[in-house]
Structure 1
Amino acid sequence: MANTGLLSGSKVVVVDSDLKSFLRDKGFGEEEGSRQQLSLVEAIYLVEKEKMQVSDGKKNFSFNDLVDEGNGIKKDFYSKYLVYSDLRERGLLVRTGLKFGSDYRVYGRGVSIKTGHSDYMVHVVPEEYTCSFPELARAVRLSQNVNKEMIYALVDGEGDITYYRVDRVKL
C-alpha cells in the first residue's frame, strides 16, 4: 500500500521510499534505519491533509479514529494537535520539544532542521491554565538558556488558539 504508514503504539512507521522522501523533504518524522518514524500528531496532520493513510495492517484509520487513539494515550492530545496543525499551516516546522521541557520546538519559515536552530519553545495549555510565578520564571529562563522564545498556546473550549510570548525583562 503506497503512502501508508503502520501504527505502532504512539508512533507511525513508514517504509515506502517515495513517502519517506516526501516526509524528509517537508520536515516530518525521524529517520530510524531504513524507516521514517512519525509522531501520532504528525501522522494525523498528514491524514487530515490527505498526504498519507495510517493502517494497523488490517484496516485504515480515519482522522477521528486516530484522534481517539491519541486521546487515549495523552492528556489534552487534541489541543496539542490543534496547535501543531495551526503552526504547520502558518508555514513553520514543528518538532517535539520534549528534551526542552515543552510540547514543541518551532523553526521559522525556510529554516532547515538539519542546519538551523529552532526559534521557539511552545507549551500547549487549556484556557483555564494557572501557574505560579516561579514556574513561569523557570520556563522562561530555560527557554532563554537555549536561545529560544517561550510561547504559551492557550486553547479554549471551542478549539481557538491564542499565543502568548513570555519574556523576562531586566530593569
Structure 2
Amino acid sequence: MSLAYKKLKNKGYVIKSGLKFGGEFRVYEKKSFIKNKHAKYICIPIKQTEKIEPKDIISNIRVTHSTGKKLLLGIIDSQEDVTFYEIDWVKI
C-alpha cells in the first residue's frame, strides 16, 4: 500500500482504483461516496526524486478535467512524508 494511499485513508477519504482515469487511485470525500457521487480527485503519487515531464502532467490534467475531477499529486519526500498538490485548469 502506498504512503499516499495510507495518508488519504487515515484522513477519512474513500480510495478506489484510478487506472481507468490514468492515475493510481480515485479519491472520494466520504460523504460524496456514500451519496454515490463521483470522485473528487485522481491521485498520482510520486517520489520527490522522480522526474515528471510537463507533458505528462498536462495529459493527466486534461483527463481528470474532462471527467469532472481534479489531479492530486502526492509528493513523497525522503522522510516518507506526503505533501499533496491539487492541480486543475483555470479558465482566464
| The two structures share one fold, judged by TM-score above 0.5 | yes
Tell me the amino acid that sits aligned with residue 13 of structure 2.
L
Which deviations, in whole Å up to 9, do the C-alpha atoms of 1:5-51 show, x marking residues without a partner?
A: xxxxxxxxxxxxxxxxxxxxxxxxxxxxxxxxxxxx3xxxxxxxxxx
Map of 1:137 onto structure 2: 58
- Greater shift, 105-114 or 85-94, is seen at 105-114
**Per-residue deviation at 1:126?**
0.3
- Structure 1 gaps of 5+ residues are 1-40, 42-79
The match for 1:95 among 16, 30, 35 is 16
Verify the 8 A CA contact 1:149 1:165 in the aligned structure 2. Answer: yes
Higher alpha-carbon Rg: 1
> Number of residues paired by the alignment?
92
TM-score, length of structure 1 as denominator length: 0.50
Q: Percent identity?
A: 27
* Shift, 1:112, TM fit: 2.9
Which runs of 4 or more aligned residues in structure 1 lie more than 6 Å from their structure 2 counterparts after TM superposition? none
Which residues in structure 2 correspond to 1:22-171 (within 5 Å)? 41=1, 80=2, 82-112=3-33, 115-171=36-92
Q: Secondary structure at 1:128's aligned position in 2?
A: coil
Query: Higher relative contact order by CA 8 Å / sep ≥ 6: 1 or 2?
Result: 2
Root mean square deviation of aligned Cα: 1.6
Conserved in 2, the CA contact under 8 Å of 1:107 and 1:113?
no
Judge conservation of contact 2:12–2:30 (CA < 8 Å) in 1. Answer: yes
Give the superposition deviation at 1:109: 2.3
Gap runs ≥5 in structure 2: none
